[in-house]
């Protein structure tokens, strides 16, 4: 019997090899068939929505802005920034809606409360007040207390209003996924014990960054003039997360020299920046959109700022 290539198999061994090869092919075909079966109880993006937005669209936004260049989803991606798999579950839709349009700074409590005025966000969160929101999404409370108003390392990506909603829908979907324990849960415990594990020695909790003061929306006794009180309101309500008091373009128009100027709007008309325009922009921000800026990203502050506080903010803007 000839042996091509110098390899010979007895008839019995050849038969067994062919049977084994056939079994392997059968297993491969069966397993391939399972890939065409619909998800067995696992959530899919096309079934998750936030308000009128779909998670499938949010996934495209997430990919288009290259978010995985810094973040991870179920451990996949870069490790420069936190894993976002359970982000919606941790901080909820109001915190995300406050953060994403102006990601260069951490949201304050007032910024989160402002987003809760939106009925779609309140309905998605399942609560309509900040106390219940913090109880349901404790991660939001922790971030507001530790970082509220401080700068972040994340750039302002100038998301459009619909893209913010779509991203929230996508993060809602990732939070609903069954990750089977991945990524591993972060060990928790009392802060002093965690600091000791981290540094190998006892570290006083007071040496960490102090939490931001609670936002009350009321002027303090230290402020004397209306403009000074207005400057405090601007910080308390997180206005500088989107509007720079200098000439820097962030999310919204910069404020330096803006009072009394002529602003070109998205519809081609112009408007004088006076008291009436600023009041309308604060209470009804979607009424007019400045040309070159995203539409619908600023929330309304109606019911959060009273007339006196608005006038004090205007007085502050005039000083710029």
Tell the burial category of 66 from Cβ atoms under 10 Å away from its Cβ (0-12, 13-18, 19+): exposed
Which pair of structure tokens corresponds to residue 180? 């089977």
What is the pLDDT at residue 296? 81
Contacts of 302 (CB under 8 A, 6+ apart): 117, 282, 283, 284
Is pTM beyond 0.85 here? no
What is the pLDDT at residue 209? 43
Task: Domains for the chain: give ranges and CATH numbers.
Answer: 45-176 (1.10.760), 226-318 (1.10.760.10)
What is the pLDDT at residue 188? 67
What is the pLDDT at residue 270? 93
Contacts of 84 (CB under 8 A, 6+ apart): 67, 71, 72, 73, 171, 174
Q: What is the mean pLDDT of each run of 10 residues along the chain (320 residues)?
A: 60 83 92 73 88 95 93 90 93 95 91 92 94 95 92 88 94 90 68 68 52 48 78 87 86 92 92 94 91 85 90 94
Answer for the pair 87, 174: CB distance below 8 angstroms, yes or no: yes
Cβ neighbours, 10 Å, residue 303: 9
Ramachandran assignment for 253, one of left (phi > 0), alpha (psi -120 to 50 degrees), beta (any other): beta
């Amino acid at each position: 019997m000839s042996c091509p290539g110098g390899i010979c198999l007895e008839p019995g061994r050849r038969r067994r090899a062919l049977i084994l090869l056939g079994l392997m092919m059968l297993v491969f075909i069966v397993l391939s068939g399972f890939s065409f079966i619909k998800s067995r109880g696992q959530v899919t993006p096309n079934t998750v929505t936030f308000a009128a937005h779909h998670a499938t669209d949010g996934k495209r936004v997430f990919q288009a802005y290259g978010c995985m260049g810094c973040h991870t989803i179920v451990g996949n991606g870069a490790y420069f920034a936190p894993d976002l798999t359970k982000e919606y579950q941790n901080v909820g839709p109001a915190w995300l809606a406050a953060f994403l349009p102006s990601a260069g700074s951490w949201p304050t409590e007032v910024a989160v409360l402002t987003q809760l005025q939106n009925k779609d966000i309140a309905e998605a969160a399942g609560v309509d007040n900040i106390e219940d929101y913090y109880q349901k999404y404790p991660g939001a409370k922790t971030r507001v207390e530790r970082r509220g108003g401080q700068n972040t390392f994340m750039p302002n990506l100038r998301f459009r209003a619909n893209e913010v909603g779509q991203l929230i829908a996508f993060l809602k979907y990732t939070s609903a996924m069954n990750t089977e324990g991945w990524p591993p849960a972060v060990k928790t415990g009392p802060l002093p014990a965690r600091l000791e594990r981290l540094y190998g020695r006892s570290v006083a909790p007071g040496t960490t960054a102090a939490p931001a003061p609670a936002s009350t929306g009321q002027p303090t006794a230290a402020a004397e003039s209306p403009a000074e009180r207005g400057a405090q309101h601007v910080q308390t309500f997180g206005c500088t997360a989107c509007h720079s008091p200098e000439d820097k373009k962030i999310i919204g128009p910069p404020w330096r020299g803006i009072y009394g100027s002529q602003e070109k709007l998205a519809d081609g008309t112009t408007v004088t920046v006076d008291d009436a325009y600023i009041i309308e922009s604060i209470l009804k921000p979607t009424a007019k959109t400045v040309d070159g800026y995203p539409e619908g990203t600023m929330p309304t502050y109606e019911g959060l700022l009273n007339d006196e506080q608005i006038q004090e903010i205007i007085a502050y803007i005039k000083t710029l």
